[in-house]
């Protein structure tokens, strides 16, 4: 079986191109240096740890990358769950475990995202009967901790808490709010309406934004092949349903310098 860890980076880097024929969405905030340096990611741990994982991958720090992706997965980030699966499948930065890898890719496909469904079916077809049986067994624990029933409430708490801490009494008045963020040439100013777009902060709209991006991403052809969804593959998980573990602790992740993502600076309220 050829290594396929490239598939998820391709998905991560090309997903936004898939929106060409759809109504425009706000740009990916992690592509905007101002938004990244403004403390935005401090309130979006799913995006924050995914980006840290991708950076670690680029630097060949695969053990760190695996831990970062797993931390992002704790906050319902499906692309990071898919990266955990790929790394387990190939033994990249972690001991190879194909059965556990399938469980994670099944989880990444939980919302029916086409790219992850295709990889899930590719995994399933490569497993033997013993591996399939074990995949369904270990998958129950994976879903209990990282499935949407447990993970979506975690990211919802982070979004609401972050918005509340940064807006305070300004809630509902962000259209005229100016936010000052640290930059290489000093502080920069951005409009509150950009930083506080509801699609970045309201949990339901935030998930809809992710769904629009990942449901059917366009995946370009690369030299080693092309990701294709298996014909007739079902959206439903093969893993038996299990109760969510709402109290599961966040997995360990490498330490990140406190100034890696500077905080937002708000001007004092006008008298």
What are the pLDDT digits (tens) for 225-239? 344 444 444 578 999
- Chain segment 175-220, per-residue pLDDT in tens: 556 666 554 455 566 667 777 888 889 999 999 988 888 886 544 3
CA 109 to chain centroid, in Å, comes to 13
Q: What is the pLDDT of residue 72?
A: 95
Instruction: Tell me 260's DSSP state.
Output: S
Question: In whole angstroms, how far apart are CA 76 and each of 12, 38, 236?
Answer: 15, 23, 18
Q: What is the mean pLDDT of the chain?
A: 77
Q: How confident is the model at residue 8 (pLDDT cuts 50, 70, 90)?
A: low
Percent of the chain exceeding pLDDT 70 equals: 63
Residue 146: per-residue pLDDT: 98
Helix (H, G, I), strand (E, B) or coil at 162: helix
Question: CA-CA distance, 207 to 220, in Å (whole number)?
Answer: 25
Question: Measuring CA to CA, which residue among 100, 109, 114, 125 is closest to residue 1?
Answer: 125
Q: Minimal CA–CA distance to 216: which of 22, 9, 5? A: 22
Alpha-helix residue ranges (DSSP H) falling in the chain: 7-14, 33-37, 45-58, 62-74, 78-90, 98-108, 114-126, 129-146, 148-167, 192-195, 198-201, 203-214
Residue 66 predicted with pLDDT over 80:
yes
Q: List the domain boundaries for the chain.
A: 7-171+209-214
* pLDDT bracket for residue 21 (50, 70, 90): very low
pLDDT at residue 137 is higher than 80: yes
Q: Report the number of secondary-structure helices (H) and strands (E) in the chain.
A: 12, 2
CB atoms within 10 A of CB 113: 25
Predicted local confidence at residue 206, as pLDDT: 92
More confident residue, 24 or 60: 60
Query: What is the pLDDT, as a whole number, of residue 5?
Result: 41
- Interacting residues of 203 by C-beta distance below 8 A, sequence separation 6+: 152, 155, 156, 159, 160
């Amino acid at each position: 079986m050829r290594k396929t860890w490239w598939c998820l980076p391709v998905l991560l880097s090309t997903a936004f191109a898939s929106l060409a024929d759809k109504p425009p969405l706000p740009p990916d905030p992690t592509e905007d240096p101002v938004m990244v340096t403004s403390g935005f990611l401090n309130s979006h741990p799913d995006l924050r740890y995914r980006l840290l994982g991708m950076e670690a991958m680029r630097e060949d720090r695969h053990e760190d990358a695996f831990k970062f992706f797993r931390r992002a997965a704790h906050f319902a980030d499906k692309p990071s769950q898919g990266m955990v699966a790929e790394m387990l499948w190939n033994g990249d930065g972690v001991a190879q475990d194909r059965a556990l890898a399938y469980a994670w890719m099944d989880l990444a496909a939980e919302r029916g995202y086409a790219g992850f469904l295709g990889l899930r079916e590719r995994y399933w077809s490569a497993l033997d009967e013993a591996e399939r049986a074990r995949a369904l067994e270990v998958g129950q624990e994976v879903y209990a901790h990282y499935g949407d029933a447990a993970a979506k409430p975690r990211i919802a708490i982070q979004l609401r808490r972050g918005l509340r801490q940064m807006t305070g009494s300004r809630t509902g008045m962000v259209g005229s709010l100016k936010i000052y963020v640290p930059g290489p040439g000093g502080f920069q100013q951005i409009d509150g309406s950009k930083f506080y777009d509801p699609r970045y902060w309201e949990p339901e709209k935030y998930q809809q934004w992710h769904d629009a991006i990942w449901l059917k991403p366009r995946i370009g052809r690369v030299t080693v092949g092309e990701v294709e969804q298996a014909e007739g593959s079902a959206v439903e998980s093969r893993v038996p349903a299990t109760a969510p573990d709402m109290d599961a602790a966040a997995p360990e992740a490498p330490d990140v310098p406190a100034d890696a993502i500077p905080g937002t600076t708000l001007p004092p309220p006008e008298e």
